[in-house]
Structure 1
């Protein structure tokens, strides 16, 4: 992976999957550019990545505006170079349910979870001039079961699985693979002790998923050994028992 450039979205949470992916790819020698939100401090993660001996950069950006994808792709090219790996981790998630669901909630989720991701994928592919490109889109297992109280999130992330499957068919002849990754419930700091205890009991290993677990799968999908895997939704959930 040395000398290649990765673009990772949504890496502003130090305990999140995005940050873990950045660390994993940098540890393998890849230059990393990531996005975070205004108000998030990217300095600690940037310092970590540079200590790995790679180039690193960041752009604070809201991915909801329609032009955000092109602005982010411009930034990584200007600061580090054209990426050969794109990891779409950024997501919007709010509790809703049918009693609270409205147009504004749907639109807000669509703008980040589907439109921004789709435009980043398309822009990445149009700009790509190499022979081995990788796209990994993070999902949450919407095809495996319901997510009560998260209608907008489930709808947009579920659509992302379908988008990834068709995108992969369009891009394979370019040497670009596109896959979706469902890491299952992952402890990134959002869970209460009660939720963590309940979920941990559903894992055969007796522990929650960790950001590093997801990052290792992303690193595999970003590497050369995954060249024959495309159009798949990979459920790396540690045997999580649903229901």
Structure 2
């Protein structure tokens, strides 16, 4: 399959060490045109990163998107179509996370998690499917990023855990609806991943729990996602894949 001209949308790409950035580069290497969203990112880095993607011979563009805004999903998909064309791949990577705990959780904190982690992801997905259905394409992919909320408690992350956990149920139900359109819908849980948030103390604590002997890296998630959008994965849908390098929670 000649992938040049096929458009992939990746949300939540705001710094070089994130999973979103790794996915963009993996897709560019495979020949997909890349459209990504960012928020509160350095303009200098955005320009450098855009060129890095374009150096693979593909087209790239991006848009700043505040997914707390109700119309954000429409702005993103309109921006994609206006510059690159109708997308065939949607990677819902953007997320909002604030440490809370039952003593600190309030309505505003919960609403912001809901807006980004659930509403934006869900509306992007259904609008993507509607536009795909009206296009000449016959194979599409939606991949949602989760965090293994069903595998154990996330202490002091009540809003994050609850809203990200809802993605698994949404993925399963949406996959059944979109299968007749040729769109697969899956979710990926990359496990604890070193995207810049881990201190040396956190790494020291987590490392013994990775039975493969190292901390998870963004490229690990990116490679799995690249497989899931390939033709080889056309029979995989409605799945939540836990790709954690043997990480032990107990």
Contact map agreement 2:9 2:34 (CA 8 A) in 1:
yes
* Structure 1 position 13, deviation (Å): 1.4
Partners of 1:183 and 1:38 in 2: how far apart?
24
2:190 alignment partner, one of 154, 166, 183 = 183
1:85 correspondence with 2:74: no
Correspondence 1:54 to 2:58: yes
TM-score of the pair, normalised by structure 2: 0.96
* Residues 151-230 of structure 1 mapped to structure 2, 5 A cutoff: 151-230=158-237
- TM-score, structure 1 as length reference: 0.98
Q: In the TM superposition, what whole-angstrom CA distance separates every residue of 1:159-211 from its partner, at most 9, and x where no partner exists?
A: 01100110000000000000000000000001111011111111012111000
Work out the number of aligned pairs and report it: 243
> Gaps spanning 5+ residues in structure 1: where?
none
Runs of 4+ residues over 6 Å off in structure 1? none
Alignment of 1:146 onto 2:153: yes
The structural deviation recorded for 1:2 is: 3.1
Partner of 2:24: 22
Shift of 1:57: 0.3
Contact 1:88 1:117 in 2 (8 A): yes
- Segments of 5+ residues of structure 2 without an aligned counterpart are none
- Tell me whether 1:137 sits opposite 2:141 in the alignment: no
CA deviation map 1:202-227 (0-9, x unaligned): 10121110000000011011111111
Deviations 1:19-74 (A, max 9, x none): 00000000000000000013433112101100000000000111111100000000
The separation in 2 between residues aligned to 1:19 and 1:53, in whole angstroms, is 17
- Give the aligned CA root-mean-square deviation in angstroms: 0.8
